[in-house]
Chain A
Amino acid sequence: MRDHSRAGAVNWLYAAPAMLFMGVVSLLPIGYTFGLAGEYHRLAVDTRFWPVMRTTLSLTAVTVALELALGLAVALVLWSPFPGRGLARAAVLIPWALPTAVMAMAWRWIFNADSGVMGDLLFRLGLVASPQVPWLADATSAFWAIVLADVWKTTPFMAVLLMSGLAAIPDELYEAAAIDGAGPVRRFFVVTLPLLKSTIVVAVIFRAIQTFGLFDLVFVLTGGGPGGRTQTIAVYAYDVVFRYQELAYGCALVVAMALCLVLMTGVMLGAARGGKAR
């Protein structure tokens, strides 16, 4: 009995540094944010809040959907054995390993209006009339430029997560399905997809949370322009706190952001569970 309680005390002791660390770097600032937040009524009358929210949500929906489709394709390709697979797997991870701000600078050059590679490429393919295309000068094309850059960067992350899901599917199931006469397409829909569902849900939630808080890419690539059409909620919160020095309202924005994320995650988990009940 005494030994048991001593072991418990020792365990707590071992856990203490990690818990202290979490408390100081995570719980304390979160608590502070809630403490500092105020002026919530302004959320209702702020003319910027809803446009920014709309941009953030559409960016999240479009980006995560594209990443899921592409990430699944990449995962399936990299999962099936072929010569040089190790190298291919490593190469795919490169975009994800790059710091976002550095990558965003590179994309700014790619989309440069006067000497960007993107315009030149499409011009050589005969898709645009002139190699000088001001991609970031137009609200719609600037939005898609951000989507492209973000999908390029984070599809590998999605693929890696999904590959871990693929690893958990026993080969026997594929063999049994094959014996029952299911072709590769049918095997994908009756074996792979249902068994991958919980991994997909986790991956989508992960990516949705990250994209919802997207800051660096937008800040560097478009600065929120033109006409504020690419400003995300994180960029707006930064402006409110650091440039306008409205600390209380800025923290209220962050709290609103967190609530949205909790809601979003809840809806996704609920949808996944509902699907399972059927």
Chain B
Amino acid sequence: MLRRLVLVLLAAVLSACGRSEPDDGMIHIRYLASPDVGGFSKVIIERFERAHPGLKVDMIEGPAAGDARENMYSTAFMGEEDSYDLAYVDVAWVPKFAAQGWLLPLDALMPAAELDNFLPGDVTGSRYQGKLYRVPIQSDGGMLYYRKDLLAEKNIPVPRTWEELVSAAKKTRTSSIAGFVFQGKQYEGLVCGFLELVWGFGGDLLDSSGNVRIEEPPAVAALSALVDAIHVDGIVPQSVLTYQEEETRNVFQEGRAVFMRNWPYAWNLMQQEGSPVRGKIGIVPMVAGPGGKPAATLGGWGFAVSAYSRHPQEAYAVAEFFASAESQKLAFFKGGILPSRRALYSDPDVLKAAPHMKDLGRVLAYARPRPTHPRWPRMSDALQMHVSAALSRQEEPAEALRAAAVEIRAAARR
């Protein structure tokens, strides 16, 4: 008994030091993901293992917080360890991971024709310096939620431009219902929402030839519009400066806002039984400014193959299986995961269960990834800080974006 205990402890210590393969003659493909809500990943893995005898997929359900998992992946890769064969990566991690040489280019494995079946934003976000590093699995993008009932009451059409949004919000808000809420806290989400407006106003942050354009008039106009919405028009409560996604959703779901900028995840939660706004909400792409086109900031996840994996071919097979239309449909029905394949947004089964997927498909068609630069975190922080300073009126919009541009250029040069 005691000897057995010692052996078990010894094994535990050893396995903590490095990766030890279970001695079952199978090839194990390991990856880290968020908790498997709905259990769909397990079903997909079972199906994969049945179709591929000799292969086993070990999914490690890690923390729900994305940056915690990003740190876990980074630590393993920094040590050049083969702890993970696959990495389930956010679109924002692709450039950073790829630039460090942690990921395997997949161009030779994935036929170019196959890529056309995915949403264009998800494919762009999977590339770094022209090479493909990720198989897109889950799509995500920012959008405008609105209260159908409140707009209908006043006979107001759904806004398409910023001007229409401001006027609709002014007409529908009351002392207890805010016009528009968004994620205004100083963090990554602020940049996502702000970029949607910058693109919508016809501006850009980093153009395709690498020029920083964030201090140009369209971006300044977008920031001024947001600042005015809080401090001049009064359609946005000042408390948005402390809001992340969940705070915004709570306000909107409790019926205390007419418009909200958020991600698709909020839809299912707000349509649940018992939700005060159930059946009263709609979604459209984020409004555009004068002369611009609506845009959405791309989120989304996909599988990348680790450069340190001893079984890259097998790992890719797992990624390919998860990306199949059948697996994506299962993930959508069991876990509400938005597919990265465009055909599924007009799939009859999907539309029958969720008619709003048609609108979502339209929103995601506008989705654009954030700049793919390995030093994006520093650039994003500079932008967050100055946008936040402008929203809290510590800096003028033009001055804030000029300062942000200087810092972003410095980060790009380093």
> B305 → chain A, closest Cβ, in Å?
21
> A65 → chain B, closest Cβ, in Å?
25
> A246 → chain B, closest Cβ, in Å?
8
Q: Whole-angstrom distance between the alpha carbons of A137 and B381 in the complex?
A: 17
- Which of the segments B201-209, B264-272, B341-349, B390-398 contacts the partner chain? B390-398
**9 closest A-B pairs by CB:** A225-B186, A227-B389, A113-B239, A137-B241, A228-B385, A134-B239, A226-B392, A243-B377, A226-B388
List 11 extra interface pairs beyond A134-B237, A134-B238, A137-B242, CB under 8 A: A47-B407, A113-B237, A139-B394, A225-B187, A225-B388, A226-B391, A226-B392, A227-B395, A228-B186, A244-B375, A244-B378
Q: Whole-angstrom distance between the alpha carbons of A243 and B386 in the complex?
A: 18
The answer on a CB contact under 8 Å between A137 and B392 is yes
Q: Whole-angstrom distance between the alpha carbons of A138 and B242 in the complex?
A: 9
B56 at the interface (CB under 8 A from A): no
The answer on a CB contact under 8 Å between A132 and B389 is no
A223 at the interface (CB under 8 A from B): yes
Q: A227 and B239 in contact (CB under 8 A), knowing A139-B394, A244-B377?
A: no
In chain B, residues 143-172, which have Cβ atoms closer than 8 Å to a Cβ of chain A? none
Determine the main DSSP class of B at the interface with A.
Answer: helix
Q: Whole-angstrom distance between the alpha carbons of A225 and B240 in the complex?
A: 13
Q: Whole-angstrom distance between the alpha carbons of A224 and B378 in the complex?
A: 14
Tell me the nearest residue of chain B to A133, going by C-beta: B239
Q: Whole-angstrom distance between the alpha carbons of A227 and B186 in the complex?
A: 7
Q: Whole-angstrom distance between the alpha carbons of A117 and B118 in the complex?
A: 48
Q: Whole-angstrom distance between the alpha carbons of A229 and B385 in the complex?
A: 9
The answer on a CB contact under 8 Å between A136 and B241 is yes
Q: Whole-angstrom distance between the alpha carbons of A228 and B394 in the complex?
A: 11
The answer on a CB contact under 8 Å between B392 and A228 is no
The answer on a CB contact under 8 Å between B71 and A224 is no
B69 at the interface (CB under 8 A from A): no
The answer on a CB contact under 8 Å between B392 and A139 is yes
Q: Whole-angstrom distance between the alpha carbons of A5 and B96 in the complex?
A: 59
In chain A, residues 215-257, which have Cβ atoms closer than 8 Å to a Cβ of chain B? 222-229, 239, 242-245
Q: Interface size class for chain B? A: 20 to 34
**A-B contact number at CB 8 A:** 79
Contacts of A175 in B (CB 8 A): none
Q: Whole-angstrom distance between the alpha carbons of A84 and B20 in the complex?
A: 59
Q: Whole-angstrom distance between the alpha carbons of A138 and B185 in the complex?
A: 11
CB < 8 Å neighbour of B238 from A47, A137, A227, A245: A137
Contacts of B384 in A (CB 8 A): 225
Instruction: Mark contacts of B364-403 with chain A using CB atoms, 8 A cut-off: 1 yes-contact digit, 0 otherwise.
Output: 0000000000010110010011101111101100000000
Tell me the nearest residue of chain A to B392, going by C-beta: A226
The answer on a CB contact under 8 Å between B71 and A223 is no
Binding site for A on B (CB under 8 A): 71, 74, 96, 100, 184-187, 237-242, 247, 251, 375, 377-378, 381, 384-386, 388-392, 394-395, 406-407, 410
Q: Whole-angstrom distance between the alpha carbons of A245 and B77 in the complex?
A: 13
The answer on a CB contact under 8 Å between B186 and A226 is yes
The answer on a CB contact under 8 Å between B242 and A136 is yes
CB < 8 Å neighbour of A239 from B381, B390, B406: B381
The answer on a CB contact under 8 Å between B185 and A223 is yes
Q: Whole-angstrom distance between the alpha carbons of A139 and B394 in the complex?
A: 8
> B252 → chain A, closest Cβ, in Å?
12
The answer on a CB contact under 8 Å between A227 and B381 is no
CB < 8 Å neighbour of B389 from A47, A112, A136, A228: A228
The residue in A47, A242, A245 that gathers the most chain B C-beta atoms within 10 A of its C-beta is: A245
CB < 8 Å neighbour of B251 from A114, A134, A243, A245: A114
Q: Whole-angstrom distance between the alpha carbons of A112 and B244 in the complex?
A: 12
Q: Whole-angstrom distance between the alpha carbons of A138 and B238 in the complex?
A: 9
> B315 → chain A, closest Cβ, in Å?
24
Contacts of A226 in B (CB 8 A): 185-186, 241, 388-389, 391-392, 394
The answer on a CB contact under 8 Å between B186 and A224 is yes
Q: Whole-angstrom distance between the alpha carbons of A242 and B68 in the complex?
A: 11
The answer on a CB contact under 8 Å between B392 and A242 is no
Contacts of A113 in B (CB 8 A): 237-239, 242
Instruction: Mark contacts of A123-167 with chain B using CB atoms, 8 A cut-off: 1 yes-contact digit, 0 otherwise.
Output: 000000000101011110000000000000000000000000000
The answer on a CB contact under 8 Å between A223 and B241 is no
